[in-house]
Amino acid sequence: MHKIIFIIILLFCWSTSYSQSTTKPQVLIITTGGTIASKTNAPSIEGHDLIQAVPELSNYATIEVDEFVNIGSSKMTPLLWLQLVKHIRDALNSNPEIKSIVITHGTDTMEETAFFLNLTHQSKVPIVLVGSMRSSNEVSADGPANLINAVRVGISPEAIGKGVMVVMNDNISAGRDLLKMNNRRVDAFPSTDLGFIGFCDPEKVTFYRSPIKPHTSESEFHIYNLDSLPKVDIVQDFAGFDSKILTYFTNRYNQGLVISSFAGGRLSNGFSEIYNLPATHKPIVISSSIKGGRIMGSNPEGTPIIIANDLPSNKARILLMLSLTITSKINEIQDYFNKY
């Protein structure tokens, strides 16, 4: 009798460990459109079809697909970002077994969506954004390999705590640092000053670095209860800039302004009046249009000016929007720009 009971227990333990070892991690793929879901001279691909076209995905994970939107990412908006981060929270609340979220996205605003989610996704569950530079029906389309790599990165135990990541062309970038630097090439996202955090090789995903700037569950930006985000505009400086343009942007309805300046934060004479504005004026962030290095120095006391450090204008806009959900005090906002 004891022998039979012992054999039953043994069988039970074996079957449990066997099912655990063979049960693949659950990955939710949220599709949003972009070139990865497009076909040249044909309508774009619906989310489920996009994923079904890459059956190899199920070698790595149990895949659930959810089509959030199907747009060219140049049509992405702050409202869609807000709805997306809530959508992700709801998905994780309804299925705590999800080990990772992969988001297929167009490359035009991929760096902005990644930066936004990196500051607002209040969870350690890894998010990996992925796209492609070639449409799905082009020769050597890069979408399928990028998608498989994104899932492999998302389920990698080392991905936990790395913040939002982006996988393109076998490279893993930190969501904060990504920059699109080419309009067409498959390596449109080269490593920035800060370098890739890891790589996807055929047999192994390897991480070499972790972002140190706070992100995801370490971030102070809790926005799940908001229905909209503060409005922030970007103005590009240029030689001979007309100050009337600045007057238009400072007078129009927005809660803040980002100036895309010359290197080092230098501005044309058309902007000189901002140095005479009081600190009670809506915040004006100076961000360099040069995609390398940071603006040195600190923000001039008693003015509404904030220095964006190494953030380009599109990301500085997002950080200002999020900062304004908490405060409109200039020095407190500058602290966020020094911290994030």
| Distance in angstroms (rounded) separating the CA atoms of residues 206 and 159 | 10
Output 25 or 72, the one with its CB closest to ligand ASP.
Answer: 72
Residue 138, Cβ neighbours under 10 Å: how many? 15
Q: How near is the Cβ of 336 to ligand ASP at its closest, in Å?
A: 28
DSSP structural state of residue 39: B
Alpha carbon distances (Å) from 73 to 17, 43, 69, 259, 283: 43, 16, 10, 23, 28
Look at the alpha carbons of 327, 165, 150, 161 in this order and tell me if their dihedral is positive or negative.
negative
**For residues 216, 131, 64 and 124, what is the CA-based torsion angle, rounded to 10 degrees?**
-10
The number of angstroms, rounded, from the C-alpha of 252 to the middle of its chain's C-alpha atoms is: 29
| Distance in angstroms (rounded) separating the CA atoms of residues 93 and 28 | 13
Q: Which residue number places its CB atom closest to ligand ASP? A: 106
Q: How near is the Cβ of 73 to ligand ASP at its closest, in Å?
A: 4
Give the footprint of ligand ASP on this chain (CB under 6 A): 34-35, 72-74, 106-108, 131, 133
Annotated catalytic residue 35: yes
Among 31, 32, 35, 216, which one carries the catalytic annotation?
35
Active site residues: 35
